[in-house]
Amino acid sequence: MKVTVLSENTSACGLPSEHGLSLYVETNGRKLLFDTGQGDLFARNAEVLGVDLSAVGLAVISHGHYDHGGGLKTFLSLNDSAPVYLSRYAFEPHFNSERYNGLDVTLAHSDRLILTDGVTELGDGLTLYSCIKPKAITSNASTGLFMEQNGELLPDDFRHEHYLMIEENGRRVLFSGCSHRGAINIVNRFRPDVMIGGFHYFRLGLDDRLKGFAQRLDSYPTQYYTCHCTGVEQYGFMKPFMRRLSYISTGDSITI
């Protein structure tokens, strides 16, 4: 499996970056896109990196926030056949404080979209999961995010978030865009060999709470490739407490 970072908050190679995430994945003879970042940056970087988005066979939008699905319109214009999988709740209104944080609702009725819930088998070892039990072993760090219900803003329950598991050569690789339901909860639920994605710790202080999260994650035998909403400072703080933690930036490619 090869994973190429098309866009992420940081760049180590000179390519432009943004607050967002987009990953191109080649696995089991398939080509897929996991998230699209904020706009068209993922596509511009893909061209520089030699990634042909028109050849992508399927796309996944991890959850209903603009920095993961804002480039959906661009992808649909560049690729005329790949289905796009996202939660059936993804187009519900989402907010960061009072600022709209969601997807472009004009795309909600595209015939290219496949809305999911529960477990969705995609074939060739690919499975989407949205089933995280409500009773968590630790609280998540995604405060300040809201959903709109009946005209009222309520704390987001992140029912619009799902996770992609890829099984290849006996290894289980989990992709999680932001881990809004709690990175520890997600790892505890799926027990992957490898986890790729953000932990949403960027708002946390560099203190004993974050140290505890790092140590708890390290207690699982998982290899972590983190990015985006984990936070660069938080990653640096966690690194000494996690033996299998790496950071991936725009332009990076990793082989698993």
Q: Is 182 exposed, middle or buried (0-12, 13-18, 19+ CB in 10 A)?
A: buried
- E strands, 124-220, are 126-129, 145-149, 152-155, 163-168, 171-176, 194-197
Distance separating alpha carbons of residues 152 and 25, to the nearest angstrom: 38
pLDDT at 137: 60
CA dihedral 147, 131, 83, 200 (to 10 degrees): 50
DSSP-derived 3-state class of residue 191: coil
pTM of the predicted model as reported, rounded to 2 decimal places: 0.96
pLDDT at 131: 72
Distance separating alpha carbons of residues 224 and 246, to the nearest angstrom: 6
Distance separating alpha carbons of residues 209 and 212, to the nearest angstrom: 5
Across-strand partners of 33?
A: 24, 59
Distance separating alpha carbons of residues 98 and 101, to the nearest angstrom: 9
Distance separating alpha carbons of residues 72 and 187, to the nearest angstrom: 28
pLDDT at 125: 96
Between the two ends of the chain, the Cα-to-Cα distance in Å is 5
pLDDT at 140: 64
Residue 89's CB is within 10 A of a number of other CB atoms, namely 20
**Count of domains forming the chain:** 1
| CATH of residue 140 | 3.60.15.10
Q: What is the pLDDT along the chain (256 residues), one digit of tens a residue?
A: 999 999 999 998 999 999 999 999 999 999 999 999 999 999 999 999 999 999 999 999 999 999 999 999 999 999 999 999 999 999 999 999 889 999 999 999 999 999 999 999 999 999 999 976 655 566 566 778 999 888 888 899 999 999 999 999 999 999 999 999 999 999 999 999 999 999 999 999 999 999 999 999 999 999 999 999 999 999 999 999 999 999 999 999 999 9
pLDDT at 256: 95
Domain that holds residue 214: 2-255
pLDDT at 144: 83
